[in-house]
Chain A
Amino acid sequence: MSNVLEIRNLTKKFGDFIAVDNMSLAVREGEIFGFLGANGAGKSTTINMISSLLRNTKGEIILLGKNIAKSAKFAKSNIGVVPQDLAIYEDMTAYENVSFFAGLYGLRGAQLKERTVEALEFVGLGDKHKAYPKNFSGGMKRRLNIACAIAHRPKLIIMDEPTVGIDPQSRNYILNSVRKLNDMGCTIIYTSHYMEEVEEICTRIAIVDHGKIIAEGTKEQLKAIITDTKDIWIGIKSEDEIKVEPLKQIPGVASVRVEEHMVMINSKAEVNNLNLIIQQLIRDRAEIRSVEEQAPNLETVFLTLTGRNLRD
């Protein structure tokens, strides 16, 4: 399989601040490539460089075998960008919006009409041709935003957090359309900080932190990184008295997270420290209700690798 996109030693500085730090990656044809990172990790900055909105400080981006610095127009016409912030015209109908954006890629006449109708159909707005987006729900606007990026049938579709702030129904619709697009032969880069989404649809995932890719691979490969750790979830009555620091001092414990009625501990697999952990909790007067050992999931992978939660 050939690479649709190749990024080599990509760096972006804003003044002294390094938003993207010597990043290299390759996206192969037919993939749904997940780009996973917390707020400010540098996802949008990377995407803006791929879509020629920002100039990179260093490194190169190769799209379909051509360096985008030298052939920006070629690159742009083969990419469809779904921006993180909605970019649609409220004073134009849904049909006009899609038709206008598709026209920017050179489509005209009967072909333009056909593709516009098709794209609206695809995102489930087939009955909303004449409606104005100002009357749309958040989810419908997001879907229109997507339709505007796919009507010209780009080789690579980049979606920057397309499901932020929408209802579960629209979200499922969007995830399904991403799969359908992929089935139709589109390569997709999918940015998100929703772990479940990425885990559900992506064929390969890169975890980004502080502008660097800290891990990359399929879900299974990523989870395999941490076979040497285990998750211990302890249900408790009240988390108010729990002190995190002493728990972290226990041999083998890598990270501790306290949530509502739950203490989540990630620990080295080979160290048997359950006793010590429970003793400490009892010392904190915790009323223990359950103890479970979990197989690692991507959330833990992320936590282990970055030392922080995906969302705060």
Chain B
Amino acid sequence: MNEILWLVRKTLRSTFRKKSSWLVFFGLPLIGIFVSMLIYGNLSGQTLRVGIVNADGDQALTQDAIRFIQGLDQVKVTMMDEEGLRDEIAAGKLDNGIRFGAGFAESLQAGKPADVQVLSVKGATVTSYVRAMLNDYLGNVASIAQATSGDKAAFDRLYDAYLQSSFKVSAETLEDTSSIKYMTYQSIGFLIAFMMFSSVNMTELILKEKENRTFLRLLTSPVSARTYVLSNVALNLFIMLLQIAVTLFFMKNVFHIDSGIPTGELFLVLLLFGLAAISLSLLIVAFAKTTASAGALSNLIVTPTCLLAGCYFPMDIMPDAVKRISNFLPQHWLLDTINKLQHGETFGSLYLNLAILFAFAAAFALIAIYRFGRNNDTRLFV
């Protein structure tokens, strides 16, 4: 243990003496978050500003629908008149405008809701969330109306019951706004790629020490090759912990991206993936003879697999064949786990995902160890 700490201390010192290391290990993931926000976010914050024009008067059903939208707490609703709505949308002060026309409540009660206009200048991603939530809500109310076919008392009873439950549901899915989801996904996607690269970077130090001849010198001291590799893994894990902590901290407290997953759980899955990344780099180092070939090999492996697993683009836009291939990539299982956690599945119910991630880590590590063992007793041991 003492030996491992001594080795870790030395590598830690000489690594972080170089300014470039700070950039590689911590700067890049932060840049990743920043880029995801540029791609998917309105940087000012996550609330959608929605202006509502109510031309239907104080009809109870219309008021309820408006309250439903207000209830989405990612959404800030301002009531206004038609002219004000157009101006503010044009001026970019609003993300969305919604107009309930006269007779809306009546049409809804009749089971055939009149079209609600949803306006925006920012394009589909911003609008779709509010539209989807609202359509869902109105669709349900309309089907209650159809089911009760004009029976006012029955409608009121069912409608009240529905309001109770739907408001609860909507409260739970609040954080599931599409832009936040994509931002989290993308930030984590970038983090994954950077974790993999920095892990290979750390593990490559083994090869670098072999090339510098210091590795054999180390082995003439009481340190064994196993201890040495273990110290490398320990340091790698430590840096990864910091990397994840820093990234999550900045995501939450500086960039205010709420992933919708308890930080502890997110941390744990990321760390589990980190183990897989470290094992993979051990594997690369076990097969590469020089730092140059390890670098080439890691580029050849990490970049394309991250691409296929959807670290750089959301998986939805990938063809089916790619989706199937991604099943064989650990990155996919991490992203899938995060996706499912965001959709409210519990940590415990995802044991299959977690087990698969763990299996990747174990398989890579075992092959690497086997390979290290075979290299035994030559000039370039390990």
B208 to chain A, nearest CB (A): 10
A296 to chain B, nearest CB (A): 37
Most buried by A among B6, B14, B214, B219: B214
Listed stretches A52-60, A214-222, A248-256; interface member: A52-60
Residues from chain B with a CB closer than 8 A to the CB of A73 are: 222
0/1 string, B1-40, CB within 8 A of A gives 1: 0110010001001100110000000000000000000000
Contact assessment for A88 and B220 in the assembled complex, using a CB-CB cutoff below 8 Å: no
0/1 string, B318-353, CB within 8 A of A gives 1: 000000000000000000000000000000000000
**A-B pairs under 8 A by CB, number:** 58
Contact assessment for A79 and B10 in the assembled complex, using a CB-CB cutoff below 8 Å: no
Contact assessment for B222 and A87 in the assembled complex, using a CB-CB cutoff below 8 Å: no
Determine the distance from Cα of A52 to Cα of B214 in the docked complex, in whole angstroms: 15
Residues from chain B with a CB closer than 8 A to the CB of A126 are: none
B306 to chain A, nearest CB (A): 30
Task: Answer whether residue B212 sits at the interface, using C-beta atoms and an 8 A cutoff.
Answer: yes
56-109 of chain A: CB within 8 A of chain B: 73, 76-77, 79, 81, 83, 85-92, 96, 100-101, 103-106
Task: Answer whether residue B316 sits at the interface, using C-beta atoms and an 8 A cutoff.
Answer: no
218-234 of chain B: CB within 8 A of chain A: 218-223
Determine the distance from Cα of A216 to Cα of B379 in the docked complex, in whole angstroms: 28
Residues from chain A with a CB closer than 8 A to the CB of B213 are: 83, 85-87
Contact assessment for A55 and B377 in the assembled complex, using a CB-CB cutoff below 8 Å: yes
Determine the distance from Cα of A296 to Cα of B14 in the docked complex, in whole angstroms: 53
Residues from chain A with a CB closer than 8 A to the CB of B220 are: 51-53, 76, 79, 81, 83
203-250 of chain A: CB within 8 A of chain B: none
B219 to chain A, nearest CB (A): 6
Interface residue count on the A side (C-beta < 8 Å): 27
Residues from chain B with a CB closer than 8 A to the CB of A105 are: 221-222
Known contacts A76-B220, A91-B17; A103/B6 CB under 8 A: yes
Task: Answer whether residue B216 sits at the interface, using C-beta atoms and an 8 A cutoff.
Answer: yes
**Which residue of chain A has the shortest Cβ distance to B6 in the bound complex?**
A103
**Which residue of chain B has the shortest Cβ distance to A104 in the bound complex?**
B221
0/1 string, A100-141, CB within 8 A of B gives 1: 110111100000000000000000000000000000000000
Task: Answer whether residue B249 sits at the interface, using C-beta atoms and an 8 A cutoff.
Answer: no
B379 to chain A, nearest CB (A): 9
**Which residue of chain B has the shortest Cβ distance to A78 in the bound complex?**
B222
> Which of A54, A76, A92, A104 sits near B14, CB closer than 8 Å?
A92
B25 to chain A, nearest CB (A): 17
> Which of A51, A77, A87 sits near B214, CB closer than 8 Å?
A87
Residues from chain B with a CB closer than 8 A to the CB of A83 are: 213, 216-217, 220
Task: Answer whether residue B381 sits at the interface, using C-beta atoms and an 8 A cutoff.
Answer: yes
**Which residue of chain B has the shortest Cβ distance to A73 in the bound complex?**
B222
Known contacts A73-B222, A89-B212, A104-B222; A54/B377 CB under 8 A: yes
Contact assessment for B212 and A87 in the assembled complex, using a CB-CB cutoff below 8 Å: yes
Known contacts A87-B212, A89-B212, A89-B214; A53/B219 CB under 8 A: yes
Residues from chain A with a CB closer than 8 A to the CB of B212 are: 87, 89-90
Most buried by B among A85, A87, A101: A87
A79 to chain B, nearest CB (A): 7
Residues from chain B with a CB closer than 8 A to the CB of A106 are: 2, 222
Residues from chain B with a CB closer than 8 A to the CB of A91 are: 14, 17-18
85-133 of chain B: CB within 8 A of chain A: none
Contact assessment for B216 and A104 in the assembled complex, using a CB-CB cutoff below 8 Å: no
Residues from chain A with a CB closer than 8 A to the CB of B3 are: 104
**Which residue of chain A has the shortest Cβ distance to B217 in the bound complex?**
A87
> Which of A76, A87, A103 sits near B216, CB closer than 8 Å?
A87
172-216 of chain A: CB within 8 A of chain B: none
Residues from chain A with a CB closer than 8 A to the CB of B381 are: 53
Determine the distance from Cα of A104 to Cα of B213 in the docked complex, in whole angstroms: 16
Which residues in B have some Cβ–Cβ distance to A below 8 Å? 2-3, 6, 10, 13-14, 17-18, 212-214, 216-223, 377, 381
Instruction: Give 12 CB contacts A-B under 8 Å.
Output: A53-B219, A77-B222, A83-B213, A83-B217, A86-B213, A87-B217, A90-B212, A91-B18, A92-B14, A101-B221, A105-B222, A148-B217
Which residues in A have some Cβ–Cβ distance to B below 8 Å? 51-55, 73, 76-77, 79, 81, 83, 85-92, 96, 100-101, 103-106, 148
- Excluding A51-B220, A92-B14, 12 further A-B contacts by CB distance (< 8 Å) are A52-B219, A52-B220, A54-B377, A76-B220, A83-B220, A86-B213, A87-B212, A92-B10, A100-B10, A104-B3, A104-B218, A105-B221
